[in-house]
């Protein structure tokens, strides 16, 4: 009778060990860390794309302003050119002044055109980069959703197994005497695995040899026997 009770006690210990392992698996599931890391990358990509979008909008605004200035300068240059060749200019001093102003405007137009070209090049690079990053972000979100579904599926399996283990544990608790359970819990406060086998004359818990007398008492199953070295319940 005691031998049967001790076997059930050992089975209880194994179920509790498995349950703890399952709980640890839930807490340390690698999928959770992978999802967190991927989520951070997606968030960073979203911020980067948003910043780049704002930069592109600003460049487009600046480009439009630069383009407008080019048209205005070009218009002023053409107006001066008409005036110079219209015959309205009567003196060399006036002609020289108009030509000097025209040269200044042409120089300003060249500088503005150069600025416009640089803005267009920068805008093209940014738009290509933004497109590339958006595609990468789409891929990361797709990967995230796939990993999330897989992780949830694995976690559900662990939870189902935990329910099975806990159901078996609860049933065992009703089959083991309260006296034996009390002794089990007392030892468990000191040792994570309170029950141990005597194997080849040694306690399977601490691996220390047990005396011949203790080994005989364990085999007789007449009473609860504790390891002389670690205090575990022997069976």
**pLDDT of res. 75:** 96
In a domain, 182, yes or no: no
d(CA 179, CA 234): 16
In a domain, 136, yes or no: yes
Identify the sign of the CA torsion 117, 118, 121, 126. Answer: negative
d(CA 98, CA 190): 102
In a domain, 60, yes or no: yes
Q: What pLDDT, in 10s, does the model give residues 194-219?
A: 999 999 999 999 999 999 999 999 99
Angstrom CA distances, 103 to 70, 96, 218, stand at 15, 10, 112
CATH code of residue 151: 1.10.287.1490
d(CA 161, CA 155): 10
Could you tell me which of 105, 26, 113 has the C-alpha nearest to residue 66? 113
Q: What pLDDT, in 10s, does the model give residues 73-131?
A: 999 999 999 888 888 878 888 888 989 999 999 999 999 999 999 999 999 999 999 99
Show the CA angle centred on residue 31, arms to residues 25 and 32, nearest 5°: 80
d(CA 231, CA 12): 18
Percentage of residues in the chain with pLDDT exceeding 90? 90
d(CA 221, CA 218): 6
Q: How many residues does the chain have?
A: 235
In a domain, 157, yes or no: yes
Q: Ramachandran region of residue 200, left (φ > 0), alpha (ψ -120 to 50) or beta?
A: left
Count how many domains the chain has: 1
Identify the sign of the CA torsion 159, 161, 162, 163. Answer: positive
Q: Parallel, antiparallel, or unpaired: how do β-strands 225-226 and 233-234 relate?
A: antiparallel
In a domain, 185, yes or no: no
d(CA 3, CA 228): 20
In a domain, 108, yes or no: yes
| Helix H or strand E segment including 201 | none
What's the predicted TM-score (pTM) here?
0.69
Could you tell me which of 4, 12, 6 has the C-alpha nearest to residue 225? 6
The answer to whether residues 169 and 208 touch, using CB atoms and an 8 Å cutoff, is: no
What mean pLDDT comes out for the span 62-69? 97
Q: Which domain holds residue 80?
A: 27-175
Q: What pLDDT, in 10s, does the model give residues 132-160?
A: 999 999 999 999 999 999 999 999 999 99
In a domain, 125, yes or no: yes
d(CA 229, CA 189): 16
**pLDDT of res. 86:** 85
């Amino acid at each position: 009778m005691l031998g049967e009770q001790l076997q059930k006690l050992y089975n209880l210990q194994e179920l509790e060990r498995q349950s703890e392992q399952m709980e640890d698996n839930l807490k340390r599931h690698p999928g959770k860390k992978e999802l967190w890391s991927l989520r951070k990358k997606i968030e960073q990509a979203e911020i980067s794309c948003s910043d780049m979008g704002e930069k592109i909008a600003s460049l487009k605004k600046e480009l439009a302003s630069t383009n407008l200035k080019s048209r205005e300068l070009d218009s002023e240059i053409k107006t001066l050119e008409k005036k110079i060749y219209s015959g309205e200019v009567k003196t060399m001093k006036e002609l020289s002044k108009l030509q000097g102003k025209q040269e200044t405007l042409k120089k300003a137009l060249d500088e503005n055109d150069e600025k416009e070209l640089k803005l267009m090049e920068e805008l093209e690079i940014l738009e290509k980069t933004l497109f590339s990053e958006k595609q990468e972000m789409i891929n990361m979100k797709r990967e995230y959703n796939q990993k999330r579904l897989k992780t949830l599926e694995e976690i559900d399996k662990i939870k189902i197994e935990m329910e099975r283990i806990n159901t078996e544990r609860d049933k065992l608790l009703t089959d083991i005497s309260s006296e034996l359970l009390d002794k089990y819990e007392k030892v468990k406060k000191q040792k994570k695995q309170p029950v141990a086998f005597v194997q080849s004359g040694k306690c399977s818990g601490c691996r220390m040899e047990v005396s011949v007398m203790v080994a005989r008492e364990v085999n007789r199953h007449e009473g609860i026997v504790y390891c002389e070295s670690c205090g575990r319940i022997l069976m």
